[in-house]
Every structure is written in C-alpha cells, then in structure tokens.
Amino acid sequence: MSLIEIEYVMLKHLKMQPSELWAHPFYEIEYLIDLFKKDQEEQEKQQKMQEEDQKKQSSSMPNMSSMSSSMFKDAKSALGSMTSGFKMPSMPK
C-alpha cells in the first residue's frame, strides 16, 4: 500500500487525525493496517455466513403466498356458509 492509501484508511475508517497518525512510527501504522485488514476479512466471512443461513432458512420455510391464498379461500367459504342461513329483516310499514 502507498502512504496515501494508508493515510486514507486510517483517517476514514479509524477516525484518526493526521497528527495522530504521523505521531506513530511507521511500523506501528503498518501493524494497525494489517489488523484492520484481518478484521475486515473476518467481518466479510461472518456476513457471508449470515446470508447463507438466511437463504437456508428462507428456502426451508413454506411458500407464504400460497398459504395465505388458501387461507383466504377457506375463510371466504366458511363465511359464505355462515351467512347463507340469515335473512334480512323487513322494514315495518
């Protein structure tokens, strides 16, 4: 990495001021960058694992749209059978 790239990472991601950055010896800065890279890689791995877990969970769940449409049809038929025996009252004259 060039000095500009290192400075960019340190200033942006680690929220350091330039004076804080250059107050350290360069080998410490390199060490911090290596730790930052390792941390980023671990976070990416964890994110990928979470995405795979979510895909597995969503594929194992039944199709909700077909379930909701069948539930709606069942409710409609049950409601229709309940209301077929009722008559509207007649208005008195």
| Segment 40-49, tens digit of pLDDT | 899 999 999 9
Q: What is the 3-state secondary structure (H, E, C) of the chain?
A: CCHHHHHHHHHHCCCCCHHHHHCCCHHHHHHHHHHHHHHHHHHHHHHHHHHHHHHHHHHHCCCHHHHHHHHHHHHHHHHHHHHCCCCCCCCCC
**pTM for this model (two decimals):** 0.49
Q: Is 47 domain-assigned?
A: yes
Give the chain's domain count. 1
Q: Which domain holds residue 6?
A: 1-55
Q: Is 81 domain-assigned?
A: no
CB 29 within 8 A of CB 21: yes
Q: Is 46 domain-assigned?
A: yes
For residue 16, the model assigns a pLDDT of 77
Q: Is the pLDDT of residue 62 over 90?
A: no
Q: Is 90 domain-assigned?
A: no
Q: Is 78 domain-assigned?
A: no
CB 21 within 8 A of CB 7: yes
